[in-house]
Copies of this chain bind each other. A is one copy, B any other.
Amino acid sequence: MSLNSFGHLFRVATWGESHGPALGATVDGCPPGVAVDEAMIQHWLDRRKPGQNRYTTQRQEADQVEILSGVFEGKTTGTPVQLMIRNTDQRSKDYSEIAEKFRPGHADITYWQKYGIRDYRGGGRSSARETAARVAAGGLARAALAALAPEVRITGYMVQMGPHRIDRDRFDMGEVERNSFWVPDAKAAEDWAGYLDGLRKSGNSVGAVIEVVASGVPAGLGAPIYGKLDTDLAAAMMSINAVKGVEIGEGMAAAELTGEANADEIFPGNDGKPVYSSNHAGGILGGISTGQDVVVRFAVKPTSSILKPRQTITKAGQATEIITKGRHDPCVGIRAVPVGEAMMACVILDHLLLHRGQIGDAGGRIG
């Protein structure tokens, strides 16, 4: 039981601190024979990489992944895959202030209370840099999905920044790659740029909501009762830094619906694949995939490192004030998009393997 890992058969353990020599993911259980190389993993890391535009931290990290094990002549061998990323920009700044003071909203105080020691440089283990390891592991999961279930597509995007929501009527997946926010709404992208610039200049930050959709997921993935697909997705997303809420399908809004409105009616489809009138369930019933799109959303709180002075205390218990200077994202939610995708990829792959192991060909046909 590693508390720094997740997954059942496709098991990802991450390690490393923000300002240590390196960080990475030890991935166990990747099926053998999957075509993968460093460039394929790097592709996904580059999407997440900081310093790419003015809305994300200016820390310069190459985030260059090295595959240290588990791949031979361009294919996975079924043994653990070690994905290592060296930290290169360990700026020699003065950390004495945050060594003594606890930054509000950060894990400084709880790490101290729990462990009695903490690597305070850049937040140590609690830094969002850890998510680079998830994205690397997600890249491997995508490679395995490409081999095992090529019809699966995983896409994440922002649907809300601060009080601003996308207009679902303008939804255009093609826009996602064209703007700095991964937002599927060209008008929103334009409006949000000005909004975020204002926040950044004032030294403030804001939260966001990310939606991740997996299409092409076969019916039957998941497992009662505690290994449900939605249970694992909720854990996966909640484990991402700064996430405070997770929704499947209708999510919290399901509370407002009547049973009549909420029922996704079922109709005959082709090849034994039923067709649904709607997808309030987010593609999951009883913890098991229906074959519809699996839809997850999660809320990311605003970046806690801001230039606004906040009240706090020192390790010695004295009242003080803190301003968190440094290179930070005004909306850390932007960089959470590829992280959410990576987590989705890992969870879907994991449940594909679980299903194959536990059920084989015994699943039921319709018609």
Contacts and interface: CB of A to CB of B under 8 A. Distances in A.
Contacts of A317: 268, 272, 274, 366-367
Which of A11, A225, A282 has the most chain B CB atoms inside 10 A of its CB?
A225
Which of A72, A116, A238, A310 has the most chain B CB atoms inside 10 A of its CB?
A238
A68 to B, nearest CB: 5
Interface residues of A, number: 164
A282 B301 CA distance: 12
B110 A226 contact: no
A56 interface: no
Interface in A253-277: 253-268, 272, 274, 277
Interface string A292-309: 000001011111111010
A303 B264 CA distance: 13
A228 to B, nearest CB: 6
28 contacts: A2-B28, A3-B225, A3-B226, A6-B226, A9-B354, A15-B79, A16-B80, A22-B69, A32-B362, A33-B117, A72-B124, A77-B115, A78-B359, A106-B286, A107-B286, A116-B364, A126-B224, A161-B255, A162-B257, A204-B259, A244-B254, A245-B251, A245-B254, A257-B302, A259-B302, A260-B306, A260-B308, A265-B312
